[in-house]
Amino acid sequence: MNIKDIVKIELIGLNVEIIDSKNKSLIGIKGKIIDETKNMIFIETQDKEIKKIIKNQVKFLLQYQNKKYEINGEILASRPEERIKK
């Protein structure tokens, strides 16, 4: 599976880590994606805290089917239903 395929899948429920960000305080946030909008991803951390992350400002490390994929958030910056149809 390549990056183009990953972009088309449903992200809710996947484990994610922020590995780079314009806002350096976001680097290292880990958790499960619990919701997604056109410009935001909502991550529930291990502390049960909800983090709202602007997609186009970060680089994600997504875990899907026991593999990890590095994805620039700008690629994900669209409505989930539109991105999945591409």
Q: What is the pLDDT of residues 21-61, one digit of tens each?
A: 999 999 999 999 999 999 999 999 999 999 999 999 999 99
Q: Is the pLDDT of residue 64 over 80?
A: yes
Extended strands (E) in 1-86:
15-21, 30-36, 40-44, 50-54, 58-64, 67-72
| pLDDT band per the 50, 70, 90 thresholds, residue 86 | low
Q: Where are the domains of the chain?
A: 1-17+25-52
* Rounded Cα distance, 75 and 65, in Å: 20
11, with CB counted inside 10 A (0-12, 13-18, 19+), is buried
Please state the pTM of the whole predicted model. 0.87
Integer CA distances (angstroms), 23 to 1, 26, 28, 55, 57, in order: 30, 6, 11, 12, 8
3-state percent breakdown (helix, strand, coil) of the chain, nearest 5:
25, 45, 30
Question: Mean pLDDT over all residues of the chain?
Answer: 90
